[in-house]
């Protein structure tokens, strides 16, 4: 059952990489060269999650990454295998997550909207991104005295990996 979702996560990383912040990890070349073996490993991790998590906890690296000429943000890169495994879990839940969200047509939420494209291995609808968010905010400001906008791009680093691991167990 999870095979399809791990395949999507794997295809996405093979096609697009895992980050636009860090250099492409050379380990991810294995994903293309040994796709079947990596998929088997992901399925094994899933079938034996507690044991694999205890034996091979998700390693990660954090570093300051330039945000602009004068700014930085804290960025985290997960171990390549876990960086495919966890998105596979999210992809499995993505339709339910999308159904629970404010509809995209309401133009209130512009964070990534799940829309799998098997041709391009894209996970998200390309129409929803930061620029669309800002353009809509500017349009709304023409009709209202005040428009409240919130960019939660720094939210990830506030997540506790320990709490996520406990929730997954």
Q: How confident is the model at residue 153 (pLDDT cuts 50, 70, 90)?
A: low
What is the count of structural domains for the chain?
A: 1
Secondary structure (DSSP) of the chain: --HHHHHHHHHHHHHH-S-SSSPPPGGGHHHHHTHHHHHHHHHHHHHTHHHHHHHS---EEEEEEE-SSS-EEEEEEE-TTHHHHHHHHHHHHHHHHHHHSPPGGG-S--S--EEEETTTTEEE-TT-SHHHHHHHHHHHHTT-S-------TT-GGGS-HHHHHHHH-
Question: What range does the domain containing 142 cover?
Answer: 3-168
> 163 versus 86: which is more confidently predicted?
86
Q: How confident is the model at residue 65 (pLDDT cuts 50, 70, 90)?
A: confident
Q: What's the chain's average pLDDT?
A: 88
Q: How confident is the model at residue 161 (pLDDT cuts 50, 70, 90)?
A: low
How far CA 44 is from CA of 38, 51, 136, in Å, comes to 10, 10, 44
pLDDT at 9: 97
Q: How confident is the model at residue 159 (pLDDT cuts 50, 70, 90)?
A: low
- What predicted TM-score, i.e. pTM, was given to this entire model? 0.81
Model confidence over 76-98: pLDDT tens digits?
Answer: 888 999 999 999 999 999 999 99
CB-based contact 147:158 (threshold 8 Å)? no
pLDDT at 17: 86
Q: How confident is the model at residue 160 (pLDDT cuts 50, 70, 90)?
A: low
Model confidence over 111-151: pLDDT tens digits?
Answer: 889 999 999 999 999 988 888 888 988 998 999 888 887 76
């Amino acid at each position: 059952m999870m095979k399809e979702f791990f395949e999507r996560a794997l295809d996405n990383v093979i096609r697009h990489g895992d980050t636009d912040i860090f250099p492409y990890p050379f380990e991810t070349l294995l994903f293309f060269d040994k796709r079947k073996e990596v998929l088997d490993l992901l399925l094994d991790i899933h079938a034996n999650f507690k044991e694999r998590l205890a034996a091979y906890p998700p390693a990660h690296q954090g570093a300051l990454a330039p945000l602009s000429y004068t700014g930085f943000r804290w960025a985290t890169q997960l171990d390549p295998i876990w960086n495919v495994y966890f998105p596979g879990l999210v992809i499995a839940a993505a339709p339910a997550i999308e159904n629970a969200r404010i509809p995209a047509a309401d133009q209130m939420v512009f964070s990534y909207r799940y829309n799998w494209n098997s041709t391009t291995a894209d996970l998200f609808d390309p129409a929803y991104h930061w620029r669309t968010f800002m353009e809509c905010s500017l349009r709304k400001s023409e009709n209202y005295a005040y428009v409240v906008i919130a960019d939660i791009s720094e939210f990830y680093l506030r997540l506790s990996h320990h709490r996520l691991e406990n929730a997954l167990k």
